[in-house]
Chains A and B, each alone.
Chain A
Amino acid sequence: MVTGSFAASIAVLVFAIGTGGLILKNNLIMKLLSLNIVNTSSILFFIAVSYRQGVQAPIIGPGKELYADPLPQALVLTAIVINFGVLALSLIFAISIVRRYHTLDVKKIQREARREFGSGVED
């Protein structure tokens, strides 16, 4: 049976995978997907933490007694919508960058930007 701590540990593992992908991947779209995975794993972590001794979802019904904790679930709704907002706006920036440099490779973009703007471009 999947308990809360087990699911929370898996959420931390997915967070680690997502962060690794965010830093180590060179493709711009892969970086954005990894950021999405990081956001989703933190939402999963909050929902896993809300598992108490109850086994039912917090919808009051007849004949049920023990419920999960409803408060963290209500708080991560904000996180889901922020995830959507960040993804949409970062894809807009990706479209802008690709229209200008015609590549998705981050190292090539850095090289072109350094050539265009001088050595003020940081690594």
Chain B
Amino acid sequence: MKRMTDYKVYLVIFLLAAFSGLMVFALFSTQREEEDLGQFYLDQAFAKTGANNVVSAIYLHYRAYDTLLEVLVFSAAVLGVSLFARWEKDDSGGVDRRSSVESSVIEGSGALLFSPVVLLGVYITFSAHLGPGGGFAGGVIGGTAVLLVSLAIGAREVGSRFNEERLKRFEYLIIFLLLSFVFFSLSDWGIALLEGMELSSLIAINAAIGLKVFIGTWAVLHFFIEHRGEV
């Protein structure tokens, strides 16, 4: 057993040295000045979409199908976690069986910080065309606000205030609306129809993604908080 461990260490060191050397060599040896796709996006994005943030214009307008399948990947991860939560229903509810509060610091800060953090998430979701941000970042920020409240007053209490079935149906409705809207707005007659409203469709896609990521992040975090501390 010990000899196999030695062989593994040497193999790892050799592989890492070779791979790192290869990557650094590739980094310093490929320079192409003729075609610059980034400059094309920097020149054209504001005139075409009205968004100051070029990265947002790229992943919400020029390459919106990418983002669409991205949201589907996220939904698959959230679906996996929620299915596992339904299948492995042991009676071990973890630490949250206690009715007492964890600590008064967390409880106080949860009460104080919930609304500002959700507001920050909404702001970052909607201001993606003017600065850094977007649906993904804003949704995760909103999810961490619910995480703080779950740690403060207990995950079961927070879970009992939401109707799970309605939340799931709402989530799938958002995905359906997002899919149909992106396919519509990037088709030929969709582009002609939404001629002057590209910025509005950008913000609408951002809002839908933000809502979807908010619900999904809260579902994942809620499961992990409810079953924490069990080995």
Contact = CB atoms under 8 A, between A and B. Distances in A.
A71 B27 contact: no
Nearest to B129: A59
Interface in B134-174: 134, 136
A89 B77 contact: yes
Contacts, number: 113
B63 to A, nearest CB: 7
A3 to B, nearest CB: 12
B interface, size bucket: 35 or more
Given A84-B74, A85-B73, A88-B81, A78 B42 contact: no
Interface string A6-21: 0011001101100110
Nearest to B12: A23
Contact of A16 (B16, B54, B77): B16
Contact of A71 (B37, B52, B77): B37
Contact of B42 (A5, A19, A67): A67
Interface string A47-61: 001101000011111
Given A19-B16, A59-B131, A88 B80 contact: yes
Contacts of A102: 231
A73 interface: yes
Contacts of B179: none
A74 interface: yes
A12 B23 contact: yes
Interface residues of A, number: 44
Contacts of A74: 55, 58-59, 63
B114 interface: no
A80 B135 CA distance: 13
Interface in A1-51: 5, 8-9, 12-13, 15-16, 19-20, 23-24, 49-50
A115 B69 CA distance: 42
Interface of B: 8-9, 12-13, 15-16, 19-20, 23-24, 27-28, 37-38, 41-42, 45-46, 52-55, 58-59, 63, 66-67, 70, 73-74, 76-78, 80-81, 84, 88, 90, 130-132, 134, 136, 220, 224, 227, 230-231
4 A-B pairs with least C-beta separation: A85-B77, A69-B38, A74-B58, A70-B54
